[in-house]
Amino acid sequence: MANTENESIKHSPVIRDEVTPMPEVNTLAFADVMACFKHGLSDFRKAPSFGLFIGGIFTIGGLIIIQALFVWKQSWMIYPVMIGFPLIAPFAAVALYDVSRRLDKNLPLNWNQILSVIWVQSGLELRWMAFVILFISWISMYQVRLLLALFLGNTAFSNWQGLFEIITTTPQGWLFIIVGHIVGGFLAMVLFSVSVISLPLLLERDADFITAMITSVKTVFQSPFVMISFGIFVLLAILVAFIPAFLGLLLVLPVLGHTTWHIYKKAVV
């Protein structure tokens, strides 16, 4: 029994020996991102069951959300929900980061430890980051309602088709699209900047979530064109994955999750 407990502690990703200083970051090139993508694809091939499981959860979750919007007669929310869906992808990928971490260190792939990595972490830093991600995602959803009230407050519509007609044929609708995408893009950029590196960093190192977010933002500012391009690629890849009834998430989400881990390893000293 004692040996089993010692083995569990040995392979746990949440036991850390000492507090690390503020990490330094490297400058990334597109070649680095491509190399990380290849590593991510390799990790998925080595441990496909974990990626398919996480991707499957979000595939089923996405279908349930869309069906619920139709049942609740809120189908006009489908587009903003689909745009906001990628915002929580980094949090969803924490288990995938742990899979890549274990593959790098030749540690066993234990289902229980990987799926519970957030909750068994010493301290609350990953959970604080989860709160930050969900809070910004909530703001992103709420700003859609706010902009609808500001620009289309006196216009009646009850479904997606009605909203689509209004926003594509009226000046108020065009303004709503322009402002909505600017505000939504800004919020997405903020969330991407604070989370892309912070989550894998918190998984591996003893750091508080503020330090992790600062390091993540530093990484984006250190290589802005490369990192922003990667963020846009993530967004477009996930949106394309929605097209075949969310089934594309079975492949896209795990590969991007593993890729992000390797970007973190290459970017942070």
- Helix pair angle (209-222, 171-195), 10° resolution: 110
Amino acid in position 65: I
Proportion of the chain above pLDDT 70, given as a percent? 82
pLDDT for the residue numbered 17? 43
Query: How many whole angstroms from its chain centre is CA 134?
Result: 11
Express each pLDDT in 7-22 by its tens digit: 443 444 444 445 557 8
Q: How far apart are CA 30 and CA 195, in angstroms?
A: 20
Express each pLDDT in 123-164 by its tens digit: 578 888 888 888 887 887 788 778 888 887 766 666 667 777
Q: What confidence category does residue 239 fall into, taking pLDDT thresholds of 50, 70 and 90?
A: confident
What string of DSSP letters covers 155-201? ----SHHHHHHHHHHSHHHHHHHHHHHHHHHHHHHHHHHHHTTHHHH
Domain assignments of the chain as residue spans, ordered by start: 28-267
pLDDT for the residue numbered 13? 46
pLDDT for the residue numbered 75? 66
3-state secondary structure at position 28:
coil
Amino acid in position 139: I
